[in-house]
Amino acid sequence: MSRLQKLYLGTNTKMYKTIADTREFLSRLAKLTGDIPEKELELFVIPSYTALETAVKTAKGSRIKIGAQNMGWEEAGPFTGEISPVMLNEVGVGLVMIGHSERRQFLRETDQDEERKVASALGNGFTVLLCIGETLEERHYGISREVFKTQLKIGLHSIAAGQVRTQHPVKKLRIAYEPVWAIGVNGVPSDEHYADENHRIIKETLCELFGDEAGSDIPVLYGGSVNPGNAGSLIRMPHIDGLFIGRSAWDADQFHQIIRSVMRSWKEER
């Protein structure tokens, strides 16, 4: 069972929900989760860019945090198609996801790109969810650990080296461990023991980077084909602090059921 004081649960709706879909999803989810105490759960939804403004308005007054799926690292400049931290701030977004495997895989983002984005997002006051995880090929060659440790060490390099001037940059950091082979319709969910062992190594690496106290306070969420059947066994593992869910969370009622059942398992273990 995670040693952190609260649970972390969230979803990224990828390139699926329109503005209208997002509004409907969030109003329903806000209504269903309104009674869950903030101190027990950090709940977030990461919709598409075009739905962000509506999402922030719809989630206002609820306990749902709204995040962006990506962010350009410069505040302004000749970067066609990018969205800057200033623009996200203006919309009222508090969270930014960096390095989702689909961006690394299909949009060719590198660990160095993620490093710049993490530094810029934290420097601009956002909470950051950095996604890491090995591909099937990397797992086949037995280099999973090397891969996600590298993603962490490069992605977090500027904050570990103290180049980001925020008072407590690490307090605003969350990690999502998402093995690429576990994600999406063709994904095979990781079994809870494999996921937990890798979470342990991730936590060890975070302690190496930030010291034992700060490092072990950083929430590490598991993602990749989380569903109503496996969510409970994943959350009972000692190094898994939360779940980052795709498809199974896109229906507000089903997401709500997962939230309640995961919270029950989490409380039973405490």
d(CA 136, CA 121): 29
Closer to ligand PGA by Cβ: residue 142 or 185: 185
Number of residues that bind ligand PGA (CB under 6 A): 13
Catalytic (active site) residue 100:
yes
Catalytic residue among 42, 100, 102, 192: 100
The enclosing H or E element of 235 equals helix 231-235
Based on CB atoms, which residue is closest to ligand PGA, 7 or 46?
46
Q: From the candidates 102, 178, 199, 239, which is the catalytic residue?
A: 178
> Binding to ligand PGA (CB under 6 A): which residues in 47-86?
none
Three-state secondary-structure class, residue 81:
coil
41-46 and 7-12: which strand pairing?
A: parallel
Chosen residue from 224, 230, 241, 259 binding ligand PGA by CB under 6 A: 224
Burial track 84-102 (b if 16+ CB lie within 10 A, e otherwise): bbebbeebebbbbbbbbbb
Figure out which of the listed residues 210, 247, 258, 266 binds ligand PGA, where binding follows CB under 6 A: 247
When asked if residue 225 is in the footprint of ligand PGA (CB under 6 A), the reply is yes
157-196 footprint of ligand PGA as x/- string (CB under 6 A): ---------------------x----xx--x---------
| Residue whose C-alpha is closest to residue 159's, from 213, 122, 205 | 122
Instruction: Output the smallest distance, CB 245 to ligand PGA, in A.
Output: 5
Closer Cβ to ligand PGA, 42 or 178, answer by number:
178
Residue with tokens 């409380």: 267
Q: For residue 161, which of 115, 96, 229, 195 has the smallest C-alpha distance? A: 115
Could you confirm whether 199 is annotated as catalytic? Answer: no
Would you state the structure tokens that stand for residue 233, as one six-digit string? 């066994």
Tell me which of 244, 252, 258, 262 binds ligand PGA, using CB under 6 A: 244
> Cα separation of 225 and 22, whole Å?
21
Q: Which is nearer to ligand PGA, 99 or 246 (CB)?
A: 246
**What's the min distance (Å) between Cβ of 223 and ligand PGA?**
4
**254 near ligand PGA, rule: CB under 6 A:** no
Q: How far apart are CA 62 and CA 191, in angstroms?
A: 33
Given the complex with ligand PGA, which of 10 and 215 has the nearer CB atom? Answer: 10
Count how many Cα atoms sit within 13 Å of the Cα of residue 240 in the half-sphere of its side chain: 30
| Helical (H) or strand (E) element with 101 | helix 101-106
Residues sharing a CB contact under 8 Å with residue 200, sequence separation 6 or more, in sequence order? 238, 239
Strand partners, 8: 42, 242
Stretch near ligand PGA under the rule CB under 6 A, chosen from 49-57, 64-72, 77-85, 240-248:
240-248
Interface ranges with ligand PGA (CB under 6 A): 12, 178, 183-184, 187, 223-226, 244-247
Write out the catalytic residue numbers. 100, 178
